Amino acid sequence: MKGSEVVRMVPDKNGQANEGHSCVKGRFAWGYATHKDRILKPMIRGKITDPWKEVSWDEALDYAAAEFRRIQKKYGRDSIGGIVSSRCTNEEGYLVQKLVRTAFGNNNVDTCARVCHSPTGYGLKQTLGESAGTQTFKSVEHSDVIMVIGANPTDAHPVFASRMKKRLLNGAKLIVIDPRHIDLVRSPHVRADFHLPLKPGTNVAMLSSIAHVIVTEGLLATDFIAQRCEDKAFQQWRDFVALPENSPEAMQEITGVPAELVRGAARLYATGGNAAIYYGLGVTEHAQGSTAVMGIANLAMATGNIGREGVGVNPLRGQNNVQGSCDIGSFPHELPGYRHVSDSTTRHLFEQAWGVEIQPEPGLRIPNMFDAALDGSFMGMYCQGEDIVQSDPNTQHVTAALSAMECIVVQDIFMNETAMYAHVFLPGSSFLEKDGTFTNAERRISRVRKVMPPKAVYADWEVTVLLAQRMGYTMDYAHPSEIMDEIARLTPTFHGVSYEKLDQLGSIQWPCNDEAPLGTPTMHIDHFVRGKGKFIITKYVATDEKVTRKFPLILTTGRILSQYNVGAQTRRTENVQWHQQDILEIHPHDAEERGIRDGGWVGIHSRSGETVLRAKVSERMQPGVVYTTFHFPESGANVITTENSDWATNCPEYKVTAVQVMPVLESSDWQKKYTRFSKVQDDLLKNAGEGTGNKTPDIKIKAVAKSIA
């Protein structure tokens, strides 16, 4: 730092999660925090066709509170809700869900974890008893076999990918289960011992056939199972899995992967020593997302790969605080610590602490909010640090729903896609401007420390407090540490957590309480959180999203290293030099068949919609499968994703969309409409200044990003 200006950002050698390593985003792409696009003044407008009007914080908050109360009076208590961001801090997420359950008086709060790892929460809770990964990142150093399924770590989790590569370089074996030929399959000094290029949407079939091999070839860790797992559930599971229909041979034409490859991988996983499974959104973002997660837990329990270093079931989370936002109760059906709202003892605990009555029924999930908005029963929303228009599937459906609502309050650091449909815009604060904590995929709570004063006067948690007051519910905290103290008081797995201890230890992995005063690096050591591990039958059910004559290809989506999630931050840094636009990757055979040139424009149609991207002919793909990323709004990647979703958690099925791809000469209708619409919104933003005629005041900050550009 130099005063309150960032000079450079380097990874901390003592960082227990990264141990002195970073990737291009964290190391360099922090310029967005002082980018000129930052909106620094609250704004309001009556209708989304009116120009924005800059107002004072008081006026904006009063307007928002008044609108919410008006809507509740008109449409009922459940007509408004809130969305928690997985990029904001634990403390901020906690306050938003508290605001909804107290000031709003209902449980209509959800988080974007819905669209990424909600199946993990559900699946691991059912089988192991806790909705979180079982290991530390460091434990990969003790793995002898590493299985990566539905994840592309070198692009989406680069820092952990480097730690994994270090282990692979000195001897660990690698199994990659992914439709694409991702870097881990083969890149300098790294070569997967088994690559199972399955068809998208057939994870459960693959996992069942692996389990089949383990069961029928006598590779079960029988004494581990006898000691640690529920016997009846195991018997049922074992008999189900042993059925010939689950054999690799039977599953071959479903997954498209030769049986002996599957058998080889299964034997390696079962007998190769410490075996760890790492999985990502390629497992969860399916119609059978939760089933696949349970299938993974089954494999770990069946081979005893749980409860020590080097093993485990490890979800690779989509964003920096997805784990945290789930932990602090941002789901409509759960209070902090994964305790169901219907559990009256927990509910009374919170009612007593917060002094309000909490509804016993789960509130609306995000997809339900859209449906309710369209049938006129959900009219108001408070959306903090989230861009559901770009990140949620079936964009037209989302925008239609938002257009039907009467008061959307968006709190973010930039004017994002959702804000184009908003009536109140409250300037947000970046991680450099506030104190708080993030929790990563290994349940590690780490401190976020303020290095510069908030650019727009308030940190995000302060805005939520002020909004609550305006709605008649007082929350008074002098510092986020007090919010964490409240979480700790009310949540058993967080009892021992405090800022003071975090400063002492550097970071803590929950559960952290009297039994585990210093946190829990590895979980389920002697017993499972639910006592005995529970095997659950994972019957393969093909997704409804079928390839047809009209839509013969399958589209799957993912990430690229230089861009992050919806790209709000990274698109405003020099990272665009690596990745300027979302590209559609297609197999040479499929491209040739359709006369598609490398670099040419192609139209992608699905039953939900159509968009146009540049094509890249790539050997990484398998015939019949195309791939793209969703970092740029104008690509409209989510225009074509469908409303299919996981049966248990509504996590959207991003990974499987039947599409047709054809060379085109001009952008899609949606894109034309989108360009016009965003142009209009930009103009409405431009003359938002109260008579001052110019845009948000251009504060002379030595914007570092600017000096580079």
Residues 524-583 that bind other proteins (CB under 8 A): 561-562, 564, 569, 574, 577-578
- Of residues 140 and 251, the one with the C-beta less far from other proteins: 140
Report helix, strand and coil shares of the chain as percent, to nearest 5. Answer: 40, 15, 45
Q: Which two tokens stand for residue 297?
A: 């837990």
Find the binder of other proteins among 21, 263, 397, 455 (CB under 8 A). Answer: 21
φ, ψ (nearest 5 deg) of residue 149: -125, 130
260: three-class secondary structure by DSSP = helix
- Of residues 498 and 687, the one with the C-beta less far from other proteins: 498
Find the binder of other proteins among 37, 46, 50, 169 (CB under 8 A). Answer: 169
- Of residues 559 and 587, the one with the C-beta less far from other proteins: 559
Residues 83-112 as x/- pattern, contact with other proteins by CB under 8 A: ----x-------------------------
Find the binder of other proteins among 14, 49, 223, 693 (CB under 8 A). Answer: 14
Q: How many alpha carbons lie under 13 Å from residue 460 in its C-beta half-sphere?
A: 32
Q: Does 37 interact with other proteins (rule: CB under 8 A)?
A: no
Residues 386-425 that bind other proteins (CB under 8 A): none
**Contact window for other proteins (CB under 8 A) among 26-34, 367-375, 539-547, 623-631:** 26-34
Q: Does 51 interact with other proteins (rule: CB under 8 A)?
A: no
- Of residues 274 and 606, the one with the C-beta less far from other proteins: 274
- Name the residue among 597, 186, 120 with its Cα closest to residue 338: 120
- Which residues make beta-bridge pairs with 314? 278
Find the binder of other proteins among 140, 225, 448, 684 (CB under 8 A). Answer: 448
Q: Does 693 interact with other proteins (rule: CB under 8 A)?
A: no
Residue 492 burial by Cβ neighbours in a 10 Å radius (0-12, 13-18, 19+): middle
**Beta strand residue intervals within 131-282, DSSP E:** 145-149, 173-177, 186-187, 190-191, 194-196, 275-279
Q: Does 7 interact with other proteins (rule: CB under 8 A)?
A: yes
Residues 179-198 that bind other proteins (CB under 8 A): 186-191
- Of residues 141 and 230, the one with the C-beta less far from other proteins: 141
Q: How many alpha carbons lie under 13 Å from residue 587 in its C-beta half-sphere?
A: 15
Q: Does 165 interact with other proteins (rule: CB under 8 A)?
A: yes
Alpha-carbon gap, residue 674 to 681, rounded angstroms: 10
Alpha-carbon gap, residue 686 to 51, rounded angstroms: 8
Find the binder of other proteins among 22, 236, 271, 377 (CB under 8 A). Answer: 22
Alpha-carbon gap, residue 471 to 688, rounded angstroms: 26
185 residue type, one letter: V
Least CB distance from residue 460 to other proteins, whole Å?
Answer: 12
Q: How many alpha carbons lie under 13 Å from residue 172 in its C-beta half-sphere?
A: 27
Q: How many residues bind other proteins (CB under 8 A)?
A: 59
Find the binder of other proteins among 36, 479, 550, 702 (CB under 8 A). Answer: 702
**What DSSP letter does each residue of 281-317 carry, written as one string?**
HHHHSSTTHHHHHHHHHHHHHHTT--SSTT-SEEE--
Alpha-carbon gap, residue 575 to 28, rounded angstroms: 9
Q: Does 446 interact with other proteins (rule: CB under 8 A)?
A: yes
Q: Does 158 interact with other proteins (rule: CB under 8 A)?
A: yes
Q: Does 28 interact with other proteins (rule: CB under 8 A)?
A: yes
- Of residues 414 and 601, the one with the C-beta less far from other proteins: 414
Alpha-carbon gap, residue 408 to 426, rounded angstroms: 11
Q: Does 451 interact with other proteins (rule: CB under 8 A)?
A: yes
Q: Does 162 interact with other proteins (rule: CB under 8 A)?
A: yes
Q: How many alpha carbons lie under 13 Å from residue 621 in its C-beta half-sphere?
A: 23
250 residue type, one letter: A
Residues 63-82 that bind other proteins (CB under 8 A): none
Find the binder of other proteins among 246, 320, 391, 628 (CB under 8 A). Answer: 320
**Which residues sit at the interface with other proteins, rule CB under 8 A?**
1-3, 5-8, 10-14, 18, 20-29, 87, 158, 161-162, 165-166, 169, 186-191, 319-320, 430-432, 437-438, 446-449, 451, 561-562, 564, 569, 574, 577-578, 702, 704, 707-708
